[in-house]
Structure 1
């Protein structure tokens, strides 16, 4: 990965609409596999015990990689195909303390 100064670390809190957990988990499986093409890496993936949410710790070599991931056409098409069943995601930029 890139230099420590350029590296971007994110925590994503992903919540699935009720009744759409399986579709949301499949979506996450698929889009997380796209990270590498944008210089990203999934460090941790944790699922809530109720199956309603996940927490991801993701690193990108730089901000440009994250921005290119956000507009990846395959990712956008997958999300659009889910419609109302798409997960609701909050992304938090973090750093080590």
Structure 2
């Protein structure tokens, strides 16, 4: 059973460009864990991003969240890191 997620990513004020670069880098890690970015959208201000992500299994999400490279990227960006809310969704 696949896992479908919607991530609402709020860029830190004044750090929007750094946040977008961070998201660019982190999203490249999805494939290592059976994940795929299906859609990526940004609001007109550039401060919020919405991502639709699918994983082949929940274990893929778990391994993505535990990926050491992801942790390194998060640590490197520091206070400029975006805040992310993730929703598990289903198609209607």
User: TM-score if structure 1 supplies the norm length?
Assistant: 0.93
Give the equivalent residue in structure 1 for 2:65: 70
Q: Unaligned 5+ residue runs, structure 2?
A: none
State how far apart, in whole Å, the 2-side matches of 1:96 and 1:52 are.
27
State how far apart, in whole Å, the 1-side matches of 2:30 and 2:12 are.
23
Matches within 5 A, 1:21-60: 21-60=16-55
1:73, distance to aligned residue in structure 2 (A) = 0.3
Q: Unaligned 5+ residue runs, structure 1?
A: 1-5
Task: Write out the 4+ residue segments of structure 1 that deviate beyond 4 Å after TM superposition.
Answer: none
1:83, distance to aligned residue in structure 2 (A) = 1.1
